[in-house]
Chains A and B, each alone.
Chain A
Amino acid sequence: MSNVDFSDFSRLRWEHFAHDADMGIRGFGPTPAKAFEQAALAMTAVVTDVGLVQLEKEIEIELEAPKLDLLFIDWINALVFEMADKRMVFGAFRVDISNGRLKGKALGEKVSRERHAPAVEVKGATFTELVVVEERPGLWRAQCVIDV
């Protein structure tokens, strides 16, 4: 077959965690940037099935913050704004982080009630359970609770 290194994929995943009236989003990856991408997928999954989202349009996000956890909350909030402002849902993300600067892309389409049956509207990312940490060498976790 090919010489593609699939080992990264086993460290890439997202999940939800419980929080009372709202939802926790959590992403894992070999780097903070990858963990941010996965957490963004977790946010989409709160609204609709990620697999239903066509990747038709791309938007760009650029941010700067002095700490990784602030950068993460700003990333999520920037996506929340784009989802609301452009009436979109996003199904894929690309993030690069260097020296406290994030350059990101989000790919998606206009939200459709019929196809996406969106469950809730994300109001914003909160500081509740906000953590960006390297759990072990090569495995980063980024998470927070989002208000829905």
Chain B
Amino acid sequence: MLTAVAIAVDGLGFAAWLFLSSVGLTLIYGVMRILNIAHGGFYALGAYSSAWAIGLYTQTGSTIALTFLIIPLAALMAGVVSGLLVERGILRFMYGRDEVLMVLVTYAIFLILEDVTKLIWGTESYVAWQPAFYFGTIDVFTIPYTIYKFIIIGVAIAVGLALFIGLNRTRIGKLLLVVIEDREISGALGINVRRFFTVTFVIGATLGALGGAITAPEISVSPGIGAEIIVLSFAVIVIGGMGSIGGAMLGAIIVGFARAASVHLYPPAELFSIYLVMAAVLAVKPYGLFALAESRKI
């Protein structure tokens, strides 16, 4: 019973983290058809800037409560600046190139971002645990969990809802759905597709940075976290169907629970189980569970 509870809560926690980290990736792919490896770089930038800002702030000895404002601000800063630089500086010259080539372009950008993070923050780890323990812990069937974990779950649900409402209930969101559906026709109808690309990319980058920023208090932020999250995010969005936000949510839940289950039942299988689930889903549904319809062009 205790194991089941632990798997359920941890699974939800993992799923929230994975959803926050990968929803930007699926958004960018849906709109721009770019599988953005550099997303791992945005995640790392977000994590570092949040951990660094929290560290600076707590040194002043002020109330910890304000760090909950610092986290989203750090993510916004990191995401908007790096997202704009990458999109305006590099990617916009590459639009229209082959999808696979764009993967390699973003891989190159990822490598550059990795070193940018090292140059700014050095190679040592940053630990910013204060926000994670600010609200203390809560017992779920005698297992103590930090309240922070539930805040992350709440944020993930809020982000998912905001994206859902933003896409389906607002004018801009509906226009964006049109761009996702058919880029050429929407351009012909007078939608400024390029501007949507820029906005989407910056939003996606900011979401990636938010994923990193909000996780930072729970982990030790060190080089390599970007490379680690990007393969997990791939697994999530590939399972759900690339470009689908509902898919990312389902994918995050599947991967999150697979990981939580293996952590509690058979720890050595932790990494292995995630990719096994991914390969199994793909073997049955080659383009993911919620794949976008694609016409075969002859």
B partners with A: no
